[in-house]
Amino acid sequence: MTTTLDPHANTPVHHAGAPLASAAGAIVLLHGRGASADDILALGDAIHQPRLALVAPQAAGHTWYPNSFLAPREANEPYLSSALKKIASVVTEIESAGITRDRIVIAGFSQGACLSTEFVASNPARYAGLIAFTGGLIGPLGTDLHHEGQLAGTPVLLLGGDPDPHVPWQRIEDSARELNNMGAVVQAIRYPGRPHTVSAPEIDQARQLLQQAFAA
């Protein structure tokens, strides 16, 4: 496949935290629009435990897909499919290092949070967790968000401000309902009036999920 059809195929993947070969688990971190892998690794540093590996792929042109996550999916192609493929390749890399999927957390902010949520729903399994800092399933308002498969008790943390200029709270609630139907254990937390950012209470919530997920 050419770079044009798979724009994220050859972008770098940044690593931090514990080495994959000796880590107790891993967090895949997806940055937002216009940001970078290094930016999201800073968030990873704020939430992770020393024994976890942090893995952050970089989007081509610093953007995973060109339009709103609420646009028709075809309006975000081939970037959206390429982004999901990129995450799949990162997860495969982690599994090849001996870390099973139930020891992998998928997390992201804004565009990266939408991508995280869509990836987990589209690739159902038991994950260590899903943390979406302001994001939800991808597709136009009113669209069918149904995904096949089971998440088998995966803990899910959906966080969002209300109102938010990019992610309507209704989409977070709809995403929570669909993920719950897929067998996830979902916690959706609304922050009235919070700007489009990651707040200290959200970092605390993420830390709690990670502590519980990797308690053993």
What is the structure's pLDDT at 1?
41
- Would you call the peptide bond into 163 cis, given omega within 30 degrees of 0 as the criterion? yes
Any residues with CB less than 8 A from the CB of 42 and at least 6 apart, and which?
none
Q: Give pLDDT, residue 207.
A: 96
State the pLDDT at residue 196: 93
Distance CA 212, CA 35 (A): 29
- What pTM, to 2 d.p., does this model score? 0.96
Return the pLDDT at 33.
Answer: 96
Could you tell me where the DSSP H helices lie in 4-163?
A: 37-47, 79-96, 111-122
pLDDT (0 to 100) of residue 49:
82
d(CA 193, CA 160): 10
pLDDT at 135: 97
Which pLDDT tens digits describe the chain residue by residue (216 residues)?
A: 444 799 999 999 999 999 999 999 999 999 999 999 999 999 999 998 899 999 999 999 999 999 999 999 999 999 999 999 999 999 999 999 999 999 999 999 999 999 999 999 999 999 999 999 999 999 999 899 999 999 999 999 999 999 999 999 999 999 999 999 999 999 999 999 999 999 999 999 999 999 999 987
